[in-house]
């Protein structure tokens, strides 16, 4: 269930690298289950808890996280909670460590859009530095590595900043309300409960 009511065109950003990691974990878990069944038969599935935990982690940590952008604002879908930031609450978009929405009530980082490492920044080309929303640039028209458009955080930040600028130009965002506009937060208790159950089952399995 979404943390906020979206409106207008809804854009969902997910990093391809995260999706690839999820698929890799699923493939490893599936291979482990097949080997277990081949070697021990169906009764061996009682020892499959660690593999199920691996597959679940792939979904929760890498496949599920996203940045959802609409006319209503930005929603960060993180592993254990959702954060809905209305445009009026947004004061600044940071990319130092990850796509981070700075509001009057705190800073909220996206699990789906981490900033690049050293090698990611070195791959920058001139086209990755031009045509960005004005809020992307720092002193002397500098660009932070996390804002480069070939990086995960840069792609997500570009999506957020462009929609934010569109809403401001349309007059749909009232300025000066970042401190008084609430940020919506919702814990994913179902995922927390499932994680605890699988961790407990894994501990029991490994201790048997």
Q: What is the pLDDT of residues 4-44, one digit of tens each?
A: 888 889 999 999 999 999 999 999 999 999 998 998 888 87
Query: CB–CB of 68/12 below 8 Å?
Result: yes
**Average pLDDT for residues 137-166, to the nearest whole number?**
78
If phi > 0 it is left, if psi is from -120 to 50 it is alpha, else beta; for residue 41 that is left
Q: Which residue has the higher pLDDT, 132 or 193?
A: 193
pLDDT of 140 reads 47
What are the structure tokens assigned to 129, written together?
Answer: 């530095």
Give the DSSP letter of residue 183.
P
Query: CB–CB of 183/90 below 8 Å?
Result: no
pLDDT of 41 reads 83
Q: Which residue has the higher pLDDT, 130 or 42?
A: 42
pLDDT of 14 reads 95
**In the predicted model, is pLDDT for residue 68 greater than 60?**
yes
Query: CB–CB of 72/86 below 8 Å?
Result: yes
Sign of CA dihedral 196, 202, 203, 204: positive
**In the predicted model, is pLDDT for residue 159 greater than 90?**
yes
pLDDT of 124 reads 55
Strands (E), the chain: 11-13, 66-70, 73-77, 81-86, 90-94, 98-103, 106-114, 184-187
Q: At what angle do helices 49-57 and 189-207 cross, to 10 degrees?
A: 150
- 41 CB-near residues (< 8 Å, 6+ apart): none
What are the structure tokens assigned to 39, written together?
Answer: 């070697």
Look up the pTM and report it.
0.85
- Per DSSP, the chain holds a count of helices (H) and strands (E) of 5, 8
Closest by CA position to 17, among listed 174, 198, 153, 186 = 153
pLDDT of 7 reads 84
Q: Confidence band (pLDDT; 50, 70, 90) for 206?
A: confident
């Amino acid at each position: 269930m979404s943390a906020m009511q979206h409106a207008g065109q809804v854009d969902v950003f997910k990093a391809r690298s995260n999706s690839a990691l999820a698929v890799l974990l699923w493939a490893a878990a599936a291979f482990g289950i097949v080997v277990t069944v081949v070697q021990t038969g169906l009764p061996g599935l009682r020892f499959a808890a660690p593999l199920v935990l691996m597959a679940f982690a792939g979904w929760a940590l890498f496949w599920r996280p996203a940045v959802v952008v609409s006319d209503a604002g930005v929603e960060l879908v993180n592993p254990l909670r959702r954060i809905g930031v209305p445009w009026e609450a947004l004061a600044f978009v940071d990319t130092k460590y990850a796509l981070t929405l700075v509001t009057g009530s705190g800073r909220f980082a996206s699990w789906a859009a981490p900033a690049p490492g050293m090698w990611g920044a070195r791959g920058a080309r001139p086209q990755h530095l031009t045509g960005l929303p004005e809020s992307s640039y720092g002193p002397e028209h500098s660009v932070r590595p996390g804002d480069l458009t070939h990086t995960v955080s840069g792609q997500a930040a570009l999506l957020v900043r462009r929609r934010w600028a569109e809403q401001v130009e349309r007059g749909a965002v009232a300025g000066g309300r970042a401190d008084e506009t609430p940020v919506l937060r919702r814990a994913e208790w179902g995922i927390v409960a499932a994680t605890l159950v699988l961790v407990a089952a894994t501990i029991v399995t490994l201790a048997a």
